[in-house]
Structure 1
Amino acid sequence: MPEHADMHIGARVRTIRKRRGLTQRELADASGVSLSLIRQLEQGAAPGTRMETAHKLAAALRVTTTTLLKRDDQRGVEPAERWRALQLSVQLGVGSPSEPPTVKGVEALLPSVRSAYFSNRLADLSALLGPALRDADALGDSVVARGVRAHLLQIAGSVLTQVREFDAAETALQRALDDAPDRLRAAAVVTTWSWLLVRQGRLQAARELATRWADDVEPRMSRATPEELAAWGWLLMQASAANLRDNRRGEAADTMRLAQSVSVMLGRELPRGTERLTTWGPTTVRYKAAERHIVLDEPDKVLRAAKRPRRTQARQRPALAVSTEYHRHRLDVAKAHTMMRQYGEAVDVLTDVHANAPEWLASQRYAQDILGDVVQKRRTLTPRMRELADALSVPL
């Protein structure tokens, strides 16, 4: 747990328990947590409480685990400080739990972590991931334990990349790749790692990493599974993105065409899976193809693609509309509007993304840059533009 977190959890447990009208013994019976441990928690005398224990107490008290982990004194904290505990968990560790965790117990935490990640609730992730990683580190080296730990570390690497904590993100992904128990998990980690390298401007390293792994995991087409196609396709798209930004347009076009062929071969959009943190299929590839037109200074093609009716897109919209890839695509659409000097339309798009993923949008430098362009080019700003600029911390 982060510094003083156990005292904080104990205070919350005591407050919520009293509101529920439960005695300590009744809470122990309902949660399966020992009465002595609950007493120690409420007295602030139980260092290193397991994440699994917090999860059990939260379930018995009918609150989210995040409710027990959140600290009132973290409100309004600077973004870099918010992620300090997760950085320490990834890079240094934060001590051992007083009770030995179990693989089953840590696996039970994954749905909460994944839900916060996929819903772009970054503040919740900052509370959940560090303690979950601390428990996962104590699980040992069985195949199942390594898989759980690699998955948590990949999520940590992804979110740390989003908030531009690049050193900690790379450490998390290095550890995740080392723990990955199979090629599909490893390929998923490398996909996230190559994205991190592009974000850092390390284009040659990103291109070489994604290309090497794409060559390694290329499946035999006659018997490839959907997950194998998705792993290969994502690596191809990451190689294309790095090539394009490195002004290797021919290679970028070749790898993107191959990724498009793989998506057509699959013929449908795969939801996020246990190995992947992203969707995969024709629609996701189309989003990435639109991103190419931003890099190539072709905003009109982005806007035409965004307006093009797609029967499959209409059917898949509910699931895709909450995906990070969809939100990133919408930022490309907003950028295209600014490039065409359509500032009101750009703000409309940003406002829509903010309504669906406010925490995610606030952490995106790309969104800040887009709105910054609007602020600079407009002589006057509407109240909505000012509100959005405040939400994204864009100086006025």
Structure 2
Amino acid sequence: MGATIGQRLQDVRKRRGLSQRELAAASGVSLSLIRKLEQGERNDTRLETARQLAVALGVPTSSLLAEPEGRDELPAVDRWEAVRLALDSEGPPGGPEEPPTAAGVLSALDAAVPLFSGDRYAELSTLLPPLIRDAGALAAAAPEGRAVHARVLQLTGWLLTQTRQFAAAHSALDRSLAGSPDGLHGAATVSTQCWLLLRQGRLAAARELASKWADEAEPRMSRATVAELSAWGWLLLRLSAASIRDNRPGEAEDSLRLAHAAAVAMGREFAPDKDFLRAFGPVTVTLKRAENAMIADRPDIVLQLAERVPVRGMRPTSNNRNRHLLDVAEAHVRSRQYAEAVDVLQGIRTAAPQWLPNQRYAHDILGRVISRRRTLTPGMRSLADAIGVPM
């Protein structure tokens, strides 16, 4: 990230017709730091500082921090190396001239959240390392920074789980849970930990963790807040997912029924504190019911339930509808409806082009389609290239 930040900063500043002194005045960043960056004396800076410069220059922050062209082609293990290093060595990259502020780190976090919910991996691989360091430095310096730090670590753990960086994900989530500011954050972090365990095939550990926290988080329904219902509901969904995979259909259905009760009490899809990871409601439960049906080899039920999922009014994120659409594609394959399966995968590719190649499920689905077709259309070949399926 850092080797050419000064060159990029200088290029953009000159294109804007600003002197170093004028940029310092417009951004609030010290003139000495701008000079050090452009002269190569400093090869890194805080995300908060980079964002101040970007705002003053009228460009995206990532345009100052972005890696050289071709970054998208790097394998995941390389893409996330800087994130793993930041987790291992949190702390300030430089001197005392630019200490993090709570307002600045919060602003940077707010700007990054849409990148998480939108599966914008290329941008996150660049923006996340300095954000981790800033949040860690803030937590060490001020009590109010601990909650921000815990949130950054939770999102990082979720992202690393999404991209199969499991060891680093465990580290980030364990530290997020240890620094949880309250029980609701703890429950949301544990929900992500359960998902991580499920992705690793550790079914017994996922069941035990989800069951323990669901028992502790169960609210009194007559006075429960939407945040409490969401936290409890997600833990029940994780318990159901672990149970159906562990061939415990009765336990899976019981957990799903309780999650449905929580969703009915909420009345609609709702994201407490606008947190996309905690978005919960009746549609979310339907999506997870379809997922359980796919595990139970009932593609007919998956396709029936898919008709009840609203096409509009629900943002197609990897955390809900995109994952569901993979089940729909799989249901079409098992029903020998191969063209329909490819159409669904093409739709996911359009909505989440950086997310889809990281899904082994998608790889397996398309692989079965290809193995059962004598000829491949250009669209299938393009999709296979995007997902990484050999032909």
Within-5 A mapping of 1:11-30: 11-30=7-26
Residue 62 of structure 1, aligned match among 58, 63, 74: 58
Structure-2 residue corresponding to 1:161: 161
Residues 97-142 of structure 1, C-alpha deviation per residue, up to 9 Å, x if partnerless?
A: 4332112111010122101111111111111111100111111355
Structure 2 Cα separation of the partners of residues 291 and 395 of structure 1: 27
| Amino acid paired to 1:341 | R
Structure-2 residue corresponding to 1:354: 349
Structure 2 Cα separation of the partners of residues 272 and 113 of structure 1: 18
Structure-1 residue corresponding to 2:268: 268
1:278–1:367 distance in 2 versus 1, CA, 3 Å: farther
Q: Does the CA-based 8 Å contact 2:91-2:136 persist in structure 1?
A: no
- The answer on 1:238 being equivalent to 2:238 is yes
Structure 2 Cα separation of the partners of residues 110 and 214 of structure 1: 28
| Amino acid paired to 2:7 | A
Structure 1 Cα separation of the partners of residues 42 and 331 of structure 2: 54
Residue 46 of structure 1, aligned match among 18, 42, 47: 42
> CA-atom RMSD, angstroms?
1.6
Structure 1 Cα separation of the partners of residues 6 and 207 of structure 2: 48
Q: Does the CA-based 8 Å contact 1:173-1:193 persist in structure 2?
A: yes
Q: Does the CA-based 8 Å contact 1:7-1:43 persist in structure 2?
A: no
Structure 1 Cα separation of the partners of residues 47 and 78 of structure 2: 21
Compute the displacement of 1:82 (Å): 0.5
Q: Does the CA-based 8 Å contact 2:227-2:272 persist in structure 1?
A: no
Compute the displacement of 1:215 (Å): 0.8
Structure-2 residue corresponding to 1:251: 251
Q: State the secondary structure of the residue aligned to 2:277.
A: coil
Higher mean C-alpha displacement, 30-39 vs 71-80 = 71-80
Q: Does the CA-based 8 Å contact 2:302-2:327 persist in structure 1?
A: yes
Q: State the secondary structure of the residue aligned to 1:7.
A: coil
Within-5 A mapping of 1:1-396: 5-72=1-68, 75=71, 76-93=73-90, 96-98=93-95, 99-141=98-140, 142-271=142-271, 273-274=273-274, 277-308=277-308, 313=310, 317-322=312-317, 324-396=319-391
Taking structure 1 as the reference length, what is the TM-score of the superposition?
0.94
Q: State the secondary structure of the residue aligned to 1:223.
A: coil
Higher mean C-alpha displacement, 136-145 vs 147-156 = 136-145
Compute the displacement of 1:144 (Å): 2.6
Q: Does the CA-based 8 Å contact 2:234-2:278 persist in structure 1?
A: no
Higher mean C-alpha displacement, 257-266 vs 68-77 = 68-77
Higher mean C-alpha displacement, 381-390 vs 368-377 = 368-377
Residues 340-378 of structure 1, C-alpha deviation per residue, up to 9 Å, x if partnerless?
A: 111110000010111111001121111111111111111
| Amino acid paired to 1:268 | R
Structure 2 Cα separation of the partners of residues 320 and 286 of structure 1: 15
Q: State the secondary structure of the residue aligned to 1:49.
A: coil
Structure 2 Cα separation of the partners of residues 322 and 257 of structure 1: 24
| Amino acid paired to 1:324 | N
Higher mean C-alpha displacement, 74-83 vs 251-260 = 74-83
Q: State the secondary structure of the residue aligned to 1:196.
A: helix
Higher mean C-alpha displacement, 74-83 vs 293-302 = 74-83
Structure 1 Cα separation of the partners of residues 2 and 49 of structure 2: 11
Compute the displacement of 1:68 (Å): 1.0
1:360–1:119 distance in 2 versus 1, CA, 3 Å: same
Structure 1 Cα separation of the partners of residues 318 and 77 of structure 2: 24
Compute the displacement of 1:48 (Å): 4.5
**Structure 1: unaligned runs, 5 residues or longer:** none
Q: State the secondary structure of the residue aligned to 2:45.
A: coil
1:94–1:375 distance in 2 versus 1, CA, 3 Å: farther
Q: State the secondary structure of the residue aligned to 1:395.
A: coil
Structure 1 Cα separation of the partners of residues 261 and 88 of structure 2: 39
Q: State the secondary structure of the residue aligned to 1:380.
A: coil
Structure 1 Cα separation of the partners of residues 44 and 126 of structure 2: 15
Structure 2 Cα separation of the partners of residues 47 and 181 of structure 1: 34
Structure 1 Cα separation of the partners of residues 150 and 390 of structure 2: 38
Structure 1 Cα separation of the partners of residues 379 and 111 of structure 2: 33
| Amino acid paired to 2:82 | A
Structure 1 Cα separation of the partners of residues 364 and 240 of structure 2: 24
Compute the displacement of 1:95 (Å): 5.6
Compute the displacement of 1:70 (Å): 0.8
Percent of paired sites with the same residue: 52
